[in-house]
């Protein structure tokens, strides 16, 4: 297989810098947030404050608007769950305090929460908010104080406000000064961010990711390269065949 050039030093260092500030103990869980522009905007805020993985509960697949996400979907992974109970169960297994944005008699000001603790923030559906099940499963209800006639904010705006309070507290506590991700997760991000085409090949064919060294090079044995070469050739052939069919359709469309 043709030698693959390493990623540039600049890109390697930029990704490593990104990884050094990621906050695996901070996340959000989107419960039936169905408007793509809201999901994309929340992802963008998550990326901005260092969240590397979010959780989602949807009845159907929600597509991201890439123009709104500004590429954040490549750096913030979404872990899907079949129900809110499953999602909260996973979060509590990680010893996270689970907060839900919900106005009630026992709601607390979102700024009173200690976000230096492992924290998950549940955000409910745009029109109806969090479900009764989500509210019951959460450890605390949080609210953003408002003095206007309208007593609710757009879900992506609410997410940004809460996340930046979490970012402020964590920054003061020095939590952005030391690497918190394990090396396995760092390697995943380095490969997907540095070699996106090869990463897609691996995903499509179930191939394991190789190691990326400090020079941005792929370190893999001969068998991995052989499987990659075979897979890449097959995909390239299918791509060429697909393009040929498209061109044929274009040329003959006027004759039908």
pLDDT in tens, 22-65: 999 999 999 999 888 999 999 999 999 999 999 999 876 555 54
Same domain flag for 56 and 163: yes
Contact 120, 96 (CB under 8 A): yes
Identify the domain boundary among 143, 172, 201: 172
- Confidence at 242, pLDDT banded by 50, 70, 90: very low
Task: Give the structural domain span for 54.
Answer: 23-172
The mean pLDDT of 197-221, rounded to a whole number, is 90
Select from 140, 172, 204 the last residue of a domain.
172
What was the pLDDT predicted at 160?
97
State the Cα–Cα distance between residues 41 and 239, nearest whole angstrom: 33
In-domain check, residue 139:
yes
Q: What is the CATH number of the domain that holds 112?
A: 3.40.1280.10
- Comparing 11-15, 128-132, 223-227, the range with the smallest average pLDDT is 223-227
Asked if residue 213 is part of any domain, the answer here is: yes
* Residue list, annotated binding site: 101, 144, 153
Domain count for the chain:
2
Spell out where the chain has E strands: 26-31, 53-57, 77-81, 97-101, 108-109, 119-123, 140-143, 211-212, 218-219
- Tell me the pTM: 0.82
| Strands 218-219 and 77-81, sheet pairing | unpaired
Task: Give residue-wise pLDDT tens across range 87-105.
Answer: 999 999 999 999 999 988 8
Q: Is residue 68 part of a domain?
A: yes
Do residues 166 and 187 share a domain? no
Confidence bin at 118 (pLDDT 50/70/90): very high
Final residue of a structural domain among 172, 192, 226: 172
- At 237 the pLDDT is 56
Q: Has residue 160 been placed in a domain?
A: yes
In a shared domain, residues 27 and 116: yes
**Does residue 195 sit in the same domain as residue 91?**
no
Same domain, 47 and 148: yes
Annotated binding residues for S-adenosyl-L-methionine, written as ranges, equal 101, 144, 153
Of residues 78, 89, 77, the one with CA closest to residue 134: 89
| Partners of residue 78 on adjacent β-strands | 54
Assess whether 234 and 195 both reside in one domain.
yes
The percent of residues in the chain predicted with pLDDT above 90, rounded, is 61
Is the per-residue pLDDT at 209 higher than 50? Answer: yes
Give the three-class secondary structure for 77: strand
Question: Do 132 and 189 share a domain, yes or no?
Answer: no
Q: Residue 80: inside a domain, yes or no?
A: yes
The reply to whether 140 and 202 lie within a common domain is: no
In a domain, 16, yes or no: no
| Span 124-139, pLDDT tens digits | 988 888 999 999 999 9
Residues 234 and 197 in one domain: yes
8 part of a folded domain: no
Question: Residues 209, 186: contact at Cβ < 8 Å?
Answer: no
Are 75 and 153 within one domain? yes
């Amino acid at each position: 297989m043709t030698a693959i050039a390493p990623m540039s030093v600049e890109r390697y260092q930029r990704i490593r810098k990104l990884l050094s500030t990621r906050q695996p103990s901070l996340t959000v869980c989107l419960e039936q947030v169905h408007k793509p522009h809201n999901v994309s905007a929340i992802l963008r805020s998550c990326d901005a404050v260092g969240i590397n993985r979010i959780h989602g509960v949807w009845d159907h697949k929600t597509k991201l608007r890439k123009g709104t996400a500004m590429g954040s979907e490549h750096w913030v992974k979404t872990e899907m769950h079949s129900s809110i109970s499953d999602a909260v169960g996973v979060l509590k297994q990680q010893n996270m305090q689970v907060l839900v944005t919900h106005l009630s008699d026992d709601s607390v000001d979102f700024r009173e929460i200690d976000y230096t603790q492992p924290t998950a923030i549940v955000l409910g559906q745009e029109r109806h908010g969090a479900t009764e099940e989500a509210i019951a499963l959460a450890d605390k209800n949080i609210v953003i104080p408002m003095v206007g006639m309208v007593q609710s904010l757009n879900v992506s705006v609410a997410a940004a406000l809460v996340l930046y309070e979490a970012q402020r507290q964590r920054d003061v506590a020095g939590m952005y000064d030391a690497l918190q991700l394990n090396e396995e997760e760092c390697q995943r991000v380095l490969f997907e961010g540095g070699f996106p085409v090869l990463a897609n090949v691996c995903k499509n064919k179930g191939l394991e990711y190789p190691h990326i060294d400090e020079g941005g090079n792929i370190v893999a044995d001969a068998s991995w390269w052989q499987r990659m070469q075979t897979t890449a050739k097959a995909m390239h052939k299918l791509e060429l065949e697909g393009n040929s069919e498209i061109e044929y359709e274009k040329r003959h469309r006027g004759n039908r």
